Amino acid sequence: MRYLMMTTDDASAAGGPPDEAMMAEMGAFIEEMTRAGVLLATGGLEPGGKRITSSGGKVTVTDGPFSEAKEQVVGFALVEVRDEAEAIEVSRRFWAIVGDGRGTIQRVFGPGDDFPG
Amino acid sequence: MTSDAHRTAETVWRLESGRIIAGVAGVVRDVGLAEELAQDALVAALEQWPESGVPGNPGAWLMTVARRRAVDRIRRDHRYAERLADIGHRMETAATAEVDPERIEDDMLRLIFTACHPVLPEPSRVALTLRMLGGLTTTEIARAFLIPEPTVAQRIVRAKKTLGDAGVPFEVPSGADRADRLSSVLAVLYLIFNEGYAATSGDDWLRGDLCREALRLGRLLAGLMSREAEVHGLVALMEVQASRARARTGPSGEPVPLPAQDRALWDPLLVRRGFAALLRARELGGPPGPYVLQAGIAACHARAATAADTDWPQIAALYDVLARVAPSPVVELNRAVAVGMAHGPAAGLAVLDAVAGDAPVRDRHLFPSVRGDLLERLGRDAEARAEFRRAAELTANEAERRALLRRAGGA
């Protein structure tokens, strides 16, 4: 089954840039997880982004920043695991490298999670 | 929280057992003993973690405890005395927490090759691979393969004994038999995959899990043997086949043949991964082996937006090569389908009838079903109906039987 892991940021912590040792450790972790077939896709997100609103058949694009946004998703990882416990374990390893922070993991439903078809 | 600590221990074990067993086997050079010591470490975790809390790096904790136990065992047990000289210099480093990642990767590769050693019968290779590298329990393996648990347990015990008795060295083969040994590893993974893939009942997720295990192990192997085109070929083949999982079964459980599948249900992520693996295989060059060729065929299907867009001449050409590289009646059967689509039903029928003498193929329902198709397209309706009737008698799938009988004119 697949889970989407997201790291969120409410701008309360003045997080400096990650140091080199942490980046190296994270790089090794990402490589290991990719090779194990656990990590399917990952990336960091630009702050803010654009807001898309669809209303009455009309799509409106609004530029950020959005002052009312309390929490923003700043990074994501899509993982393939055997069960929720494994997703939590992968998450635990991620946070052991990153340190303080918060995020969510949510099961992803879609074609292909009903093995066998 | 006892149950939380237990769940964490079991989960970490499933994720890391391959690495841990390999890391211990690197010290003791005996996979049976390595597995036993790694299991001891798991038991220690189940006992201690509820009291002491889960350590910061649980995988490393298990590895360290298992390797320490390995060192203790060798020092204590006179049966391993002769190994002391051999592994003396490794012992000092083994008991420390520092694990050299490259060493572990080498050890994992040795573990895979040992578990798939030809001295073992194939079912034992499968069980040992799933147990040692997939971290599956005996119960899980038994349920996935629909066989009694004691049978699996016995297979594993016997396999470990056989490896010990035969003095199989803990190493990756080099030289002349390396290609054969790699074929044996790939065959075991593909066997596991197909066991899951062939399970046609949609609610039988446990067997479908075997597809995922095989893919996981394949991806792992591709990381460890990135210079081997056939490994990437096998991974590509499994990724693309797995992408069709949802589309392969119709609402009443009948198998949906590839041309009739709803391609919107194919998993694009797995398709892309399959393409990427196939590209890696092709970049390595050399004459394509059986898995690269089969992956090429699967990729041809995956590239077609609709069944009508399928590049049948290309698929038929790939089957022609496959028939030379890895000839088999089953390949001929598939080649007949491709040739029939690419160059007309008469050409397909000629390929098919050339293997009609092979009883195992002739007596599978696919043979008369393909033959019926080709005859129908040639306008030989009475003969076609007779083939569909015969196919209906041979298939084990009830929904498919009904579909074949409809084509046979309900007779």
Between B88 and B59, name the one with better pLDDT. Answer: B59
pLDDT at B221 over 50: yes
Q: What is the mean pLDDT of chain B?
A: 89
- How far apart (Å, rounded) are the C-alpha atoms in residues B130 and B195? 13
Q: Tell me the pLDDT band of A116, cut-offs 50, 70 and 90.
A: very low
Q: How far is A6 from chain B (nearest CA, A)?
A: 19
**Cβ of A115 and B200 within 8 Å?**
no
- What pLDDT sits at residue B357? 85
Give domain B336-411's CATH number out of 1.25.40, 3.40.1350, 1.10.287, 1.20.1630.
Answer: 1.25.40
Q: For helices B345-354 and B329-343, what crossing angle results, to 10°? A: 170
- How far apart (Å, rounded) are the C-alpha atoms in residues B90 and B84? 10
On whether any CB of chain A is under 8 Å from the CB of B215, the answer is yes
- What pLDDT sits at residue A61? 94
In chain B, % of residues over pLDDT 90: 69
Of B71-75, B105-109, B170-174, B303-307, which gets the smallest average pLDDT?
Answer: B71-75
Of A108-117, B8-17, B144-153, B159-168, which gets the smallest average pLDDT?
Answer: A108-117
Of B45-54, B82-91, B117-126, B170-179, which gets the smallest average pLDDT?
Answer: B82-91
Nearest to A96 among B11, B56, B249 (CB): B56
Give domain A2-108's CATH number out of 1.20.1250.20, 3.30.70.1060, 3.40.50.720, 3.40.50.300.
Answer: 3.30.70.1060
pLDDT at B214 over 80: yes
- What pLDDT sits at residue B98? 64
Nearest to A116 among B7, B14, B211 (CB): B211
For chain A, report the end-to-end CA distance as a whole number of angstroms. Answer: 13
Is the peptide bond prior to B251 cis by the omega test (within 30 degrees of 0)? no
In chain B, % of residues over pLDDT 70: 91
**Taking a C-beta distance cutoff of 8 angstroms, is the pair B277, B239 a contact?**
yes
Q: Write out residues 254-293 of B within 8 Å (CB-CB) of A.
A: 264-267, 269-270, 273
pLDDT in tens, B322-336: 999 999 998 999 999
- What pLDDT sits at residue B254? 73
pLDDT in tens, B151-201: 999 999 999 999 999 999 999 998 889 999 999 999 999 999 998 887 644
In terms of C-beta density within 10 A (0-12 exposed, 13-18 middle, 19 or more buried), how is residue B84 classed? exposed
Between B363 and B81, name the one with better pLDDT. Answer: B363
Q: Write out residues 49-88 of B within 8 Å (CB-CB) of A.
A: 56-57
- Secondary structure (H, E, C), B217-258: HHHHHHHHCCCCHHHHHHHHHHHHHHHCHHHCECCCCCECCH
pLDDT in tens, B30-49: 999 999 999 999 999 999 99
pLDDT at B278 over 70: yes
* Residue ranges per structural domain of chain B: 336-411
Q: How far is A34 from chain B (nearest CA, A)?
A: 9
pLDDT in tens, B245-275: 888 888 777 778 898 999 988 988 899 999 9
pLDDT at B85 over 70: no
Give me B340's structure tokens.
């029939």
- How far apart (Å, rounded) are the C-alpha atoms in residues A101 and B67? 34
- What pLDDT sits at residue A9? 85
Residues of A in contact with B221 (CB under 8 A): none
pLDDT at A112 over 80: no
Mean pLDDT comparison of A18-27, A41-50, B113-122, highest-scoring range? B113-122
pLDDT at B122 over 60: yes
On whether any CB of chain A is under 8 Å from the CB of B105, the answer is no
